[in-house]
């Protein structure tokens, strides 16, 4: 049914907005015929045009000035001018605490233009969340080019998933402090379609085979998402809330709010919980690997003992807190690097402790949770080289008596890769070991390489995706005796990590769409007769994107043409911290597969987290190597990675960028 009317208000007071929301929700909740339901019109809850001559609630974030202007206007004759900015983060802000309802997806739109005479810059739209004296910043629309000659439209969606005591939307610039105009701000929501009740519950369809799970965050345990989750799934995995950076961001200061909420929801609703994850090289705070004065720990016995005691304390606290509520733990995550001859990832854990971090982690987890199943979890376990290295490690640890009960296959795959045969070989490889197996993080990206980007998923990709789900689940069901659960990395396409990984673009990798309606992918599992059959492929669709030959560093002659360019951009900065991106363009004539990029920080900056690469920092010297999917850097190609870091008194640009030892130009 289509709502015959919309709620349109100018800066609608909160209660009225809620009433409007409730009315529409009821209006939309009509009996469902066949899926999927049709969308209703969006409801505009805030609308600021400045035509009434007031700032309509917009205020400065700090000491800058906001005032109504008639110099330019996007619609009508007035806009809001922001002047006197002294930092890029300053800009117009609008309080939303009374306007935004937790769990509802809003579309925020604003038009931005620089004031006359200002040089081009980039602008972005974000939301600031305040809670108990700390603030968090969520980007709604990323850096967008803007000039003084034309209006730029920033539009993006946002869902508030936390309890907050302050909330505002704001516009800022990427670098400069130009005066700027904003106009025609709106905040609207799309009334959700009802959760389908006339389709089979996934968990019932798969009941004879294995429990089916979904990764969750706070957004999945409220409103319609929670209804969908309860209806179709047996188990949940908190996607971030149990990781080290979430639970123990600083030593001894544990934060349990998100994990307690999510595990509590699961317990209240009879859902089993997979605990993810205790030891990993990512999302682990820098303090874990440094001593109290900030010096990186080394492999000397005292440092190693300190690291292992921190690990033990962490596991005792986290695993101990949830007791029987968490029946499976990903004790270790992503410890294999198939490009090392011994197969072991050179993480800080490994560099400091060798294999002892794994021995300690499993021993302590078993001691604290004697009945929990303890897993080693990894991605690309279908890739033969990686699979075999993982099998060798599991064999070795179990032979030593390390209590590894199971192997987790993440299964972050795509519509083309890997083949069913390779996936079957992955499952078969672990059968002789007598370990349990689980699929732990499955999603099927609609993209087959990093250059693709579709504003909406093309129909042929969604059909191919449905075939992939059909065929992979048919395989899993044949291996139901080996697989003790299958988990998808998310609930629905409205919230997937693949929207920002490995590059920002809308992905649609799950079984339910952005409006929580069943996709063909769902029917591929539940009733394949309801999707078109697969056309017979004429060529093998199998492409392995991960294995790149390791070039011998001495064999390749370097020539004068062999050059590179490094582009370094600080994308956000605040007292003591900043976020930056590095783009390396291979401007030379040869490929750099399996590259290493290095630079030096001049001011004692320290990286705490890096994505799209693996980082090492030794004092001022930083080196970054690829992740599995971006190790190829062809002639003319580029790679980009980003990081969070700390700074103290100044934050000057790094120097001495090199690519595989070649000096890069900068800019």
Of the pair 109, 410, the CB lying nearest ligand XIL is at 410
Size of the site for ligand XIL (CB under 6 A): 7
The minimum distance between CB 235 and ligand XIL, in angstroms, equals 16
x-or-dash string of contact with ligand XIL, 9-38, rule CB under 6 A: ------------------------------
Calculated CA dihedral for residues 651, 240, 431, 426, nearest 10 degrees:
-60
452 counts as catalytic: no
Angle subtended at Cα 95 by Cα 94 and Cα 97, rounded to the nearest 5 degrees: 150
Give the active site residue among 183, 258, 330, 334: 334
The minimum distance between CB 153 and ligand XIL, in angstroms, equals 27
CB atoms within 10 A of CB 233: 24
First to last CA, the chain: 54
334 counts as catalytic: yes
Question: Which two tokens mark 177?
Answer: 């402090």
**Position with the least CB separation from ligand XIL:** 497
The minimum distance between CB 390 and ligand XIL, in angstroms, equals 14
x-or-dash string of contact with ligand XIL, 426-445, rule CB under 6 A: ---------------x----
Three-state secondary structure of 641-667: EEEEEECCCCCCCCEEEEECCEECEEC
Using only C-alpha atoms, what is the Rg of the chain? 26
CA proximity to 2, closest of 186, 189, 191, 187: 191
The minimum distance between CB 497 and ligand XIL, in angstroms, equals 4
Give the active site residue among 224, 330, 378, 513: 378
Query: What's the CA gap between 514 and 516, in Å, rounded?
Result: 5
Query: What's the CA gap between 174 and 500, in Å, rounded?
Result: 19
The answer to whether residue 143 forms part of the interface with ligand XIL (CB under 6 A) is no
Give the active site residue among 441, 443, 494, 562: 441
CB atoms within 10 A of CB 341: 7
Three-state secondary structure of 19-79: HHHHHHHHHHCCCCCCCCCCCCCCEEEEEECCCCCCCCCCEECCCCEEEEECCCCCCCCCE
CB atoms within 10 A of CB 482: 17
Of the pair 568, 611, the CB lying nearest ligand XIL is at 611
The answer to whether residue 484 forms part of the interface with ligand XIL (CB under 6 A) is no
Asked if residues 189 and 21 have their Cβ atoms less than 8 Å apart, the reply is: yes
Asked if residues 213 and 274 have their Cβ atoms less than 8 Å apart, the reply is: yes
CA 532 and chain centroid, separation: 32
Q: Tell the residue number behind the tokens 């309509």, with chain if given.
A: 56
The answer to whether residue 240 forms part of the interface with ligand XIL (CB under 6 A) is yes
x-or-dash string of contact with ligand XIL, 358-387, rule CB under 6 A: ---------------------x--------
Which of 194, 211, 223, 239 binds ligand XIL (CB under 6 A)? It is 239
H/E element, 386: helix 384-400
Of the pair 228, 411, the CB lying nearest ligand XIL is at 411
Q: Tell the residue number behind the tokens 């969606």, with chain if given.
A: 157
Angle between helix 384-400 and 420-430 (nearest 10): 10
The minimum distance between CB 496 and ligand XIL, in angstroms, equals 8
The minimum distance between CB 142 and ligand XIL, in angstroms, equals 15
The minimum distance between CB 428 and ligand XIL, in angstroms, equals 23
342 counts as catalytic: no
Of the pair 497, 629, the CB lying nearest ligand XIL is at 497
Residues in the chain: 667
Which of 333, 381, 548, 628 binds ligand XIL (CB under 6 A)? It is 333
Of the pair 223, 239, the CB lying nearest ligand XIL is at 239
- Which positions from 485 through 504 interact with ligand XIL, judged by CB under 6 A? 497
- Which positions from 384 through 423 interact with ligand XIL, judged by CB under 6 A? 410
The minimum distance between CB 329 and ligand XIL, in angstroms, equals 13
Query: What's the CA gap between 523 and 497, in Å, rounded?
Result: 23
| Contacting residues toward ligand XIL, per CB under 6 A | 239-240, 333, 379, 410, 441, 497
Tell me which residues are annotated as active site.
Answer: 334, 378, 441
């Amino acid at each position: 049914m289509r709502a015959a009317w919309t709620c349109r208000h100018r800066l609608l007071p909160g209660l009225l907005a809620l009433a409007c929301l409730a009315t529409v929700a009821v209006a939309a909740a009509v009996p469902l015929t066949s899926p999927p339901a049709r969308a209703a019109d969006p409801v505009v809850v805030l609308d600021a045009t400045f035509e009434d001559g007031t700032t309509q609630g917009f205020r400065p974030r700090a000491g800058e000035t906001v005032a109504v202007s008639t110099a330019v206007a996007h619609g009508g004759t007035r806009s809001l001018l922001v002047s006197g900015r002294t930092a890029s983060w300053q800009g117009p802000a609008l309080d939303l605490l009374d306007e935004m309802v937790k769990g509802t997806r809003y579309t925020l739109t604003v038009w931005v233009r620089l004031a006359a005479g200002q040089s081009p810059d980039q602008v972005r739209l974000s939301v600031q969340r305040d809670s108990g004296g700390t603030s968090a910043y969520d980007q709604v629309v990323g850096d967008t080019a803007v000039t003084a000659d034309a209006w730029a439209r920033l539009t993006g969606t946002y869902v508030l998933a936390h309890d907050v005591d302050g909330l505002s939307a704001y516009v800022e610039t990427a670098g400069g402090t130009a005066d700027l105009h904003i106009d025609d701000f709106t905040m609207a929501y799309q009334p959700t379609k009802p959760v389908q009740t006339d389709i089979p519950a996934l968990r019932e369809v798969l009941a004879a085979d294995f429990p089916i799970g979904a990764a969750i965050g706070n957004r999945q345990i409220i409103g319609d998402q929670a209804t969908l989750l309860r209806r179709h799934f047996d188990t949940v995995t908190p996607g971030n809330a149990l990781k080290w950076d979430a639970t123990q961001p600083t030593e001894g200061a544990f934060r349990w709010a998100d994990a307690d909420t999510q595990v509590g929801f699961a317990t209240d609703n009879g859902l089993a919980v997979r605990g993810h994850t205790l030891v990993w090289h990512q999302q682990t705070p820098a303090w874990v690997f440094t001593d109290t004065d900030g010096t990186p720990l080394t492999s000397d016995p005292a440092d190693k003992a300190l690291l292992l005691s921190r690990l033990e304390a962490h596991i005792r606290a986290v695993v101990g807190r949830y007791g029987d509520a968490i029946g499976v733990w990903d004790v270790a995550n992503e410890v294999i690097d198939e490009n090392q001859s011994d197969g072991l990832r050179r993480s800080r854990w490994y560099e400091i402790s060798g294999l002892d971090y794994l021995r300690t982690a499993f021993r302590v987890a078993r001691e604290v949770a004697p009945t929990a199943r303890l897993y080693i979890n990894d991605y690309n376990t279908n890739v033969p080289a990686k699979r075999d290295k993982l099998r060798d490690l599991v064999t070795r640890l179990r032979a030593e008596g390390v209590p590894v009960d199971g192997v987790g296959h993440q299964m972050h795959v795509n519509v083309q890769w890997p083949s069913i045969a390779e996936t079957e070989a992955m499952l078969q490889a672990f059968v002789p070991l007598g370990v349990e197996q689980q699929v732990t993080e499955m999603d099927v990206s609609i993209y087959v390489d990093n250059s693709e980007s579709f504003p909406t998923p093309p129909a042929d990709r969604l059909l191919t995706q449905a075939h992939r789900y059909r065929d992979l689940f048919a395989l899993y069901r044949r291996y139901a005796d080996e697989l003790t659960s299958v988990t998808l990395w998310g609930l629905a396409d409205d919230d997937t990590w693949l929207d920002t990984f490995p590059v920002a673009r809308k992905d649609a990798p799950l079984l339910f769409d952005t409006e929580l309606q069943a996709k063909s992918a769902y029917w591929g599992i539940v009733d394949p007769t309801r999707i078109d059959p697969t056309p017979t492929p004429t060529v093998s669709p199998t492409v392995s994107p991960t294995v790149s030959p390791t070039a011998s560093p001495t064999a390749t002659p370097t020539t004068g043409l062999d050059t590179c360019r490094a582009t370094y951009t600080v994308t956000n900065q605040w007292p003591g911290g900043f976020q930056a991106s590095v783009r390396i363009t291979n401007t030379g004539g040869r490929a750099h597969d399996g590259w290493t990029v290095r630079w030096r920080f001049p001011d004692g900056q320290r990286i705490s987290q890096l994505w799209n690469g693996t980082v090492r920092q030794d004092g001022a010297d930083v080196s970054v190597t690829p992740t599995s999917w971006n190790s190829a850097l062809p002639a003319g190609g580029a790679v980009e990675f980003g990081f969070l870091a700390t700074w103290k008194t100044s934050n000057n640009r790094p120097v001495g960028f090199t690519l595989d030892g070649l000096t890069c130009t900068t800019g």
